Structure 1
C-alpha cells in the first residue's frame, strides 16, 4: 500500500484529496500546521508540517511513497517555500510528486507557481502537475462564501467567464495519477462549462431560493475590500493578477483532462450548488 503525504490538508482541496486517497486504498499522511484540526479518520495519519519551519519537513516526508504538494493560497513566495520541499523529497526517496498549480501559469514564466513547476520539472523526480481553474468551493466554504450568504458576489471579474471546477474532481484526478504506472506529466483541469459571475449568481439564487446578485467592482474597489479583510499586500496583488486574467477571458478555457485521467465527468456548477445548498441557507 502506498503512503502519500498531502500538504495543506485542512484546506478545501487538501481535505478532498485526503478523503479520496483514504477511501481509494492509500495510506495517507495528512500534513497541516495544526494537525489537531484534522480529527481522526481510518487510514489517515495527521502530521505537523509548516513551510516556514524546515525542521517539520523531514519527519513528515520520512518513508512516504508520494507527495501531493499544495502551495499556501495567493502566496507570492511559493517558490521559496515549495522548492526546498521538492529537493528534500528527492533526497528522501519519494517516488512521485503531484503538484497543484493553477490553470494558465505555464503561459507566465515569472508567475510564482510556474517557478515551482520549473523546479519540479528539473528535479529528476517523477512528477505530475495539476493546473486546476478556480474552485467551486470558493463559493461554499472559501473566501466567497460570506458574500454569498449576504446575498451578493462582489468581485472585479467583469463579464469574464470561468470554467469552475470542484475540488472533488481534482481529488479524483489525484487518486488516478497515483494509481497509474505512467500518468500524464501535466493536466489542465476545468469544469465542463464556462460561466460568468452573473450566471453563477443566478444558479445560486435558483438553488437557494434567495436573491443573490453579482456586483461588478473596479479592480481598486475589490483590492481595497481584500485589504480591509486583512489580506497581506502580496496576496492582494496576487488576486489582482488572477482577476485580470478572468476579465481578459483566460479563465474560460474548457479541457477534457478530468474525464480522460479519472474516467468520470466533472460536475457542473448547478450540480455542485444543489449538493452544497445548505451552505447558504
Structure 2
C-alpha cells in the first residue's frame, strides 16, 4: 500500500522544495502527498495538482491532529518563531509531536541543526535539542535531518561586506560546510519517500568546509572585488550588527552563529546529501558564481 507523506510549512522555501522533489525526483503521486500551512490559499497551485492542502496551526494541537489525520510519514519542518524570551518554538514542536502520536503517524521526520546538544553557542539550539528529545520520547520511529547552514544564508552578510570591502566576523578560524538549501531538500524528500522504518539521524552539509578567510578569497576570485576579513570580539560584532539596524535579539542570534563556528561545532562534512538524494551537492564556488549579480547588488 502506498504511504501518505505529509510536509508541514509547505509554503516556506524548504517545504516547497521538498514537495517539488517528491513530485519530480521521487515520482510520488500528488494524491499521496499532504501539504500543510497556516494559510491554505498560499498553496492553491499545489491543490490544483491534486495534492491535499490542509490548514495547520502549530499553536493549536487540535488543528495539527486534524491536519495529520491519515498521514503515514510526517515531516515537521521547524517553525520560524525565534522569540527567545517565550520558548514558543519548542512548545510548537512539542505540540506537533504530540499531535502526530495522537493521529497514529507511523514515522516522524524533523529538520534540526548540527550538534544542538546543551553547550551549543547557538541561541536557539535548545529548541532543536528539546524537539529531538520529544520525538525520541514519543516512541514513534524517526528520521532527524540536522541541516547545516545554507549557502543562501550568506546573502545576509556578503552583499554588504562586498560593497564595503570589509567582512566583520567573530568566527576566527572556524570552518563551515555551507550547503545548498535545494540539495538538502532533495535529501529530505528522499528520506521522506524512502519508506524506511529505522530511526536515523543525518547531518546534511555541503561538500567542503571553509574558514571565513577562505570564503572571502573565493568571493574575491568570483566577483573580482577585494574583501578583507576583520575579526572582532562577539560583543563588538553584536554592537555593529545592531548599528546596521538589526533588532538586538536577532543580532545576538547572528553573532551566536559565529561563536558556534569558532567553537568548531559546524565544521563537519558528510556525504549524507549525496547518499540520500543520489546527486552531487553544489559547491560553494558554484553558488557564488550562480549568484554573482545578486551578491554585487
Calculate the TM-score normalised by the size of structure 2.
Answer: 0.79
The corresponding residue for 1:18 is 19
The corresponding residue for 1:48 is 55
Contact kept, 8 Å, 2:94 with 2:131, in 1: the verdict is yes
The structure-2 alpha-carbon separation of the partners of 1:55 and 1:92, relative to structure 1 and needing over 3 Å to count, comes to: closer
Which of the residues 40, 48, 70 maps onto 1:63? Answer: 70
Establish whether residue 160 from structure 1 lines up as the match of residue 174 from structure 2.
Answer: yes
The corresponding residue for 2:195 is 181
CA distance in 1 between counterparts of 2:104 and 2:141 reads 11
Question: 1:37-66 CA deviation, whole Å, 9 max, x = no partner?
Answer: 456243545443332344532333232222
CA distance in 1 between counterparts of 2:35 and 2:240 reads 33
Question: 1:217-246 CA deviation, whole Å, 9 max, x = no partner?
Answer: 43123333555645463x554444432120
SS of the residue 2:10 aligns to: coil
The structure-2 alpha-carbon separation of the partners of 1:215 and 1:14, relative to structure 1 and needing over 3 Å to count, comes to: farther
CA distance in 1 between counterparts of 2:290 and 2:219 reads 11
The corresponding residue for 1:32 is 37
CA distance in 2 between counterparts of 1:91 and 1:129 reads 20
Query: Which runs of no fewer than 5 residues in structure 2 stay unpaired?
Result: none
Cα RMSD (Å) of the superposition?
3.0
Displacement, 1:263?
2.7
Query: Which runs of no fewer than 5 residues in structure 1 stay unpaired?
Result: none
Question: 1:129-186 CA deviation, whole Å, 9 max, x = no partner?
Answer: 111211111124xx34653674564433223111111112211221221232335611
The structure-2 alpha-carbon separation of the partners of 1:198 and 1:84, relative to structure 1 and needing over 3 Å to count, comes to: same
Displacement, 1:119?
0.9
Which of the residues 195, 199, 212 maps onto 2:210? Answer: 195
Q: Which has the larger radius of gyration?
A: 2
Contact kept, 8 Å, 2:146 with 2:202, in 1: the verdict is yes
Which of the residues 76, 80, 94 maps onto 1:83? Answer: 94
CA distance in 1 between counterparts of 2:19 and 2:61 reads 22
Establish whether residue 5 from structure 1 lines up as the match of residue 10 from structure 2.
Answer: no
The structure-2 alpha-carbon separation of the partners of 1:261 and 1:271, relative to structure 1 and needing over 3 Å to count, comes to: same
Alignment coverage as a number of residue pairs: 278
Contact kept, 8 Å, 1:12 with 1:137, in 2: the verdict is no
